Amino acid sequence: MEQRQLCWAHLKREFIKISERAGVSQDIGNALVKQQQKLFELWHRVRDGTLSRCDFQLLVPEIRDSIKSSLEEAANYSIGPQEKTPLAKTVRTCRQILKVEPALWLFVEVEGVEPTNNAAERAIRPAVIWRRTSFGSQTLAGSNFVQRMLTVVTTLKSQRRNVLEFMTRTVSAKRLGQPTPTLLPQVPVA
């Protein structure tokens, strides 16, 4: 769990949902949202260079303790197994988050790890849209083809390489019995 980073954008949505419920849930949710906002104010300062990573790492434990305390407060409420009240939803959500709590903080310790998975979600978005608009594939061979083509297109786009040029070179090389081009990033020759 300590080697995994969960997405804070999704977590923020959960905290906001909790804060929009009535009663005790609202108080707990507001406390969670407040701490999440403090965390990201600091994180943005690290990213823009106005706060060192070392100082950030020294400031985060107080926020982490506060978030964990709020989650534990909610998790300690007694609810019935079939209860569907707003408080029961809050309690279940907080219990689930507590199970993975160590996975919320990898980005604090490891440079290069982002607190959200926005880049990954942007990368798979074209595949999700294609699946919704085309109704997917009806065969294993078709699914494999789509999977490979989407991987090729996404990889080439991330490297700012021309997809049509790559595909043309690949098909030509295959027809001529020559080695096919690689998807590995191309290193400029010095």
Per residue of the chain (190 residues), what is the pLDDT tens digit? 778 888 999 999 999 999 999 999 999 999 999 999 999 999 999 999 999 999 999 999 999 999 999 999 999 999 998 999 999 999 999 999 999 999 999 999 988 888 887 666 777 777 778 777 887 778 889 888 888 888 898 889 888 999 999 999 999 999 999 999 998 887 666 5
Q: Does some domain include residue 67?
A: yes
Do 58 and 142 sit in the same domain of this protein?
Answer: no
At CA 141, angle to CA 169 and CA 183, rounded to 5?
A: 30
Q: Are 101 and 71 in contact (CB under 8 A)?
A: yes
Coil, strand, or helix at residue 153? Answer: helix
Please count the CA atoms within 13 angstroms of the CA of 98 that sit on its side-chain side. Answer: 17
Q: Are residues 88 and 41 in the same domain?
A: yes
The sign of the torsion formed by the CA atoms of 158, 160, 164, 166 equals negative
pTM over 0.85: no
Q: Do both 162 and 135 map to the same domain?
A: yes
In a domain, 184, yes or no: no
Domain count across the chain: 2
Residue 103: inside a domain: yes
- d(CA 178, CA 176) in angstroms, rounded, equals 5
Do 21 and 92 reside in the same domain of the chain?
A: yes
Same domain, 107 and 167: no
Determine the structural domain holding residue 47 and report its residue range.
Answer: 8-116
